[in-house]
Each structure stands twice: as C-alpha cells, then as structure tokens.
Amino acid sequence: MNLTVDRLSRIYALLTLLYPYDFRRDFASEMQAVFQEKLNAAKQAGKWALWRDFWSELHNLPAAILTEYWLAFRDTFGRGIMFLVTEDKSWRIEGRRDAIIASLPPMLMGFGVALGALVVWEPWHTIPRWRLLTGFAIMMLPGLIIGLGGLWALIKRIPPWSHTWVGGAGMGLVLFVKTIAEERADFGLPLVSPVMDVVILILLLFILSVIIGVSAWQGWRHAGMVSLGFATMAGMASFSMATAAPFNRYDLALLAAPVGLVMASLIYLFVRKGDGGRVIAILMYGLMNAIVFFIVASIWNLPEGDPSPVIPFLIVLTGALLVGPIAGLIGKPVRRVVQGS
C-alpha cells in the first residue's frame, strides 16, 4: 500500500510541474507534502478511498492549473504591453556583420528576380530554351539559398542573425508549394492527391506556426524578424507574378532590385536601432509591399465581375508582417509564466 502511495505521490509531483513557474516555486513542494498526507490518511480507509482521493485530485487538477495560468498571464499582461515593448531596450544584433547577414534575404531575392527578368526579358515561347531556363534558375537560386540558410539556422538553433532567413525559408516553401499546386490545378490535377493535399497544407501551417512560436518565445523583436522574412518572400512573389504569361512585364520585375535594397535597409534598421526604428521598419515594409502589389495588380486585366485578388493578398501581406510581433508580445509573457523571469 505504501508503494502505491509513493507512486501516486510521485505522479502528483510530476503533475505539479505543469503549474506556472511562480506558482510551483512557491507551492509545489508544500502541495506534494499535503497530497502525500492526504493519501496516507485515505489509505487507512482502504484501497478504494485512496484511489477515490487520487481521482478527485486528478479531476480537479486541469481546472486548477488553467486558472493559475490565466491569472498569471493576466497579471503579467496587467503590467502593460508597453512594459513588454520597452523592456530590454538595449536589444539589437551587436555585430555589424551579423546585422548585414540578417538583411541579406530581400537583397538576394530582389537581385535574383531582377537579373532573371533581364535574362528572359521576352515572352517565354519566343526565346531559346537555354535562356528561359537560365533566367528561371537565376530567379530561383536566391530562394534556394534562403531555404538552405534557413535550414542551416534551424540546425544552429536559430542564432540572432537568422530569424529573417528562417521566416523567408518558411514562406518561400509555402509559395513554392502554392505555385506548383496552381500549375497543376490548371490541368485539373491535385498537388499529390486530395487527401495528401490537405496533409501538406496542415504540414505547411504547422511549420509556419512552429517558426513563429519558437521565435515568439524569444520575444517580439525576434518574431518581428521572422515576419520581415515572411513579408520579404510574399512581396517578392508579386514581382514574379508580373513576369508570368500573359503579362510578361519583365520591366516591372526590374524594380525588385531597388525594392530589395530598401527592404534590406529596413531590416538593418530593425536589428540595429531602437524600438521606434523597428516600428517604422515594419510600417515601411507594409507600405512598400502594398505599393508593389498595387503596381503589379494594375497590369492584370481581370474580366468584369471577377473578384479582385488585391484585398485578400493585402490581408495576407499585412498578416505575415504582423503575426510575428503580435505572437511575440503574447509569447514573452507566456514564457515568463511558464519559466519565470
């Protein structure tokens, strides 16, 4: 019987680890002692009384734990979001080299898209195959580099410079899959199969959520960098759309290079300056993406009555840009509650 009490007490001790950090620091040891005392008393009344008390504790535990999380979260948030925004004001990427590496994804993408457009320049069916393939490869290469960079960063446990790369890689993967899916849909084909397509969609959402979740754990600035990575790829995809048939607007795609440079400067501002600079960088990024998309959308001659893709796409762009900072603002207090300050 003592063995049972010991085992149940150990299980309870493990379960108390689920409480928020501050709560378990202050009360877990006491709760375990009281629980053991309660079980020792119950065992005098028999085995069933012992299990009944254990079950009663177990039954109440989820509600008790959730209540503590909610109250702890509310208290942390009660100190004000501004506190979270302004705390650790000194955060920035220290090394200039690391800051430049963090800023590289839009520059690579911008120059890749512009250079690829220069090589192709004319409608795809009017040029030699080697030129089309070379141009396409040049456009795709930066995406591949960013993807590998993001993977490398994940292996290296996301060093400070890498959040834009990880974000870019995540969104790049989504856009890559979306492009293939659209191409296949033109022929009435699914990506793989109807069921697998749903699995792939869930997997992609899971990957993006993990990327955001992990960076949000570190704070809104890290998650903000991931968002800039998302927005970089989403924004650059607009230029690629302009080059697609039947528009063939390779001249517009040339704009990707200066836009990429400006985006890179904004990321540099984000990682090196204060919070004011970061907010400006996010706003400017959003504004620039919106302008680019309006320009690209203006060349589409949609049939009368067809729904415009502008608003949905702008919502996606804005969402991509804000999801990181918002998740970070929530993630930091959650982390404090779970792990302590």
Q: Rule CB under 8 A: which residues touch another protein?
A: 12, 23, 26-27, 29-38, 56-57, 59-61, 63-65, 67-68
For 19: left if phi > 0, alpha if psi spans -120 to 50, otherwise beta; the answer is: beta
61 vs 326, which CB is nearer to another protein? 61
**Which residue's CB is nearer to another protein, number 158 or number 337?**
337
Residue 66 or residue 291: which is nearer to another protein going by CB?
A: 66
Give the residue with the Cβ less far from another protein, 43 or 278: 43
- Find the shortest distance in angstroms from Cβ 331 to another protein: 24
Closest distance to another protein from the beta carbon of 36 (Å): 6
CB of 81 to another protein, least distance (A): 22
Q: Is 2 left (phi over 0), alpha (psi -120 to 50) or beta?
A: alpha
For residues 19 and 66, what is the distance between their CA atoms, to the nearest angstrom?
A: 8
Three-state SS for 309?
Answer: coil
CB of 15 to another protein, least distance (A): 9
Residue 67 or 86 having the CB closest to another protein: 67
- The span from the CA of 296 to the CA of 115, in Å, is 18
CA distance 56 to 63: 12
Token readout for 250 is 């390779």
Kindly state the smallest distance separating residue 72's Cβ from another protein, in Å. 10
Burial 287-302 (b: 16+ CB within 10 A, else e): ebbbebbeebbeeeee
